[in-house]
């Protein structure tokens, strides 16, 4: 039987300090979310009189925000735009990354260098060309004008990151699959892509967060309330419920919850990706 080493006072003290630091960091991250959630179920007077504790629960704030504040329509527009954009991005990034990382056609390093340079092109630099192009295509003011720009914006970083992960995959697995008679598409979908799921999950988290909370391009292009996304629609919502802080915070909570849900859903793969990066480093 193996004898466990005794825990010295110095080791115990270091562990206590470590847990204390982690607790403080977790508190700093979670308390703003808790404060927002707590404020969203208060009446306007409770927000002013008791800002830091809860005296009553008013779930009607969410009903008011969802129906009267027209958050339901804005929310569905954001869901349609975000999901459509992510589907296009995942398909294009996966195919491009696998081609550059595994198949490696002629000039793949040059292509990857061009993709890397595209990461330094900011949204403000492409605003006028994108506006003119979509206006000529008669797509201005529609959901498609948001989806196309969002898809193009997230391709460069996602392709560059996923290509580097695919390059690190062992070639022996592909060779064994080829001997067994598997094709390129089967090797990609059944062998290689499952191994890079942590990296793909990380890209989904960051891209979804950027798409869901995007405001600049939507403000320039969307005029009709029927196509406004949630961040853009909350401007009208804020002017309508300026004095009702509970309802206003309920709308902000509805904006925040999907981001938290997506992170929690992909958190296991996200943490696995961070751990793999730490081990490689």
pLDDT at site 243: 67
Mind listing the pLDDT tens digit for each residue in 150-189?
998 888 888 988 988 888 888 888 878 888 777 888 888 8
Q: Concatenated DSSP letters for 63-105? A: HIIIIIT-HHHHHHHHHHHHHHHHHHHHHHHHHHHHIIIII--
Q: How far apart are CA 169 and CA 146, in angstroms?
A: 35
pTM, to two decimals: 0.82
Q: How far apart are CA 20 and CA 33, in angstroms?
A: 20
Mind listing the pLDDT tens digit for each residue in 78-125?
999 999 999 999 999 999 998 888 888 888 889 888 888 888 888 888
Closest CA to 218 of 134, 142, 132, 108: 142
Q: How far apart are CA 155 and CA 161, in angstroms?
A: 10
Q: How far apart are CA 210 and CA 229, in angstroms?
A: 13
User: What is the average per-residue pLDDT within 185-206?
Assistant: 85
Q: How confident is the model at residue 1 (pLDDT cuts 50, 70, 90)?
A: very low
Percent of the chain with pLDDT over 90: 17
Domain range summary for the chain, segments of one domain joined by +:
62-280
Closest CA to 102 of 19, 46, 163: 163
Per the CB < 8 A criterion, the answer to whether 55 and 46 are in contact is yes
Cα-based distances in Å from 191 to 34, 169, 199: 42, 10, 15
Confidence check: pLDDT of 5 > 70: no
190: CB partners within 8 A, 6+ apart: 177, 182
- The region of weakest confidence among 11-20, 191-200, 239-248, 269-278 is 269-278
Q: Note the CATH architecture for domain 62-280.
A: Orthogonal Bundle (1.10)
pLDDT at site 3: 55
Query: Looking up tokens 């003119």, which residue turns up?
Result: 132
């Amino acid at each position: 039987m193996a004898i466990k080493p005794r825990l010295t006072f110095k080791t115990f003290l270091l562990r206590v300090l470590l847990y204390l630091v982690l607790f403080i960091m977790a508190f700093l991250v979670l308390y703003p979310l808790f404060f927002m959630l707590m404020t969203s179920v208060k009446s306007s007077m409770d927000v002013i009189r008791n800002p830091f504790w809860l005296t009553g629960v008013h779930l009607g704030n969410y009903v008011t925000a969802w129906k009267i504040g027209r958050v339901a329509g804005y929310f569905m527009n954001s869901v349609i735009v975000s999901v459509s954009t992510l589907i296009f991005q995942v398909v294009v990034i996966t195919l491009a990354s696998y081609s550059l990382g595994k198949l490696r056609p002629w000039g793949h390093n040059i292509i990857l260098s061009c993709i890397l340079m595209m990461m330094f092109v900011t949204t403000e630099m492409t605003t006028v060309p994108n506006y003119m192009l979509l206006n000529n295509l008669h797509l201005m003011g529609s959901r498609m004008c948001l989806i196309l720009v969002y898809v193009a914006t997230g391709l460069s970083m996602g392709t560059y990151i996923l290509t580097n992960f695919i390059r690190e995959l062992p070639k022996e697995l592909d060779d064994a699959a080829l001997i067994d008679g598997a094709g390129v598409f089967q090797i990609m979908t059944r062998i290689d892509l499952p191994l890079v799921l942590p990296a793909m999950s990380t890209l989904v988290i960051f891209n979804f967060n950027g798409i869901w909370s995007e405001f600049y391009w939507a403000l320039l292009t969307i005029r009709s309330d029927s196509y406004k996304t949630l961040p853009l629609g909350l401007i009208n919502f804020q002017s309508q419920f300026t004095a009702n802080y509970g309802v206003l915070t309920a709308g902000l909570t509805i904006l925040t919850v999907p981001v938290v849900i997506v992170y929690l859903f992909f958190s296991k793969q996200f943490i696995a990706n961070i751990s793999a990066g730490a081990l490689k480093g």
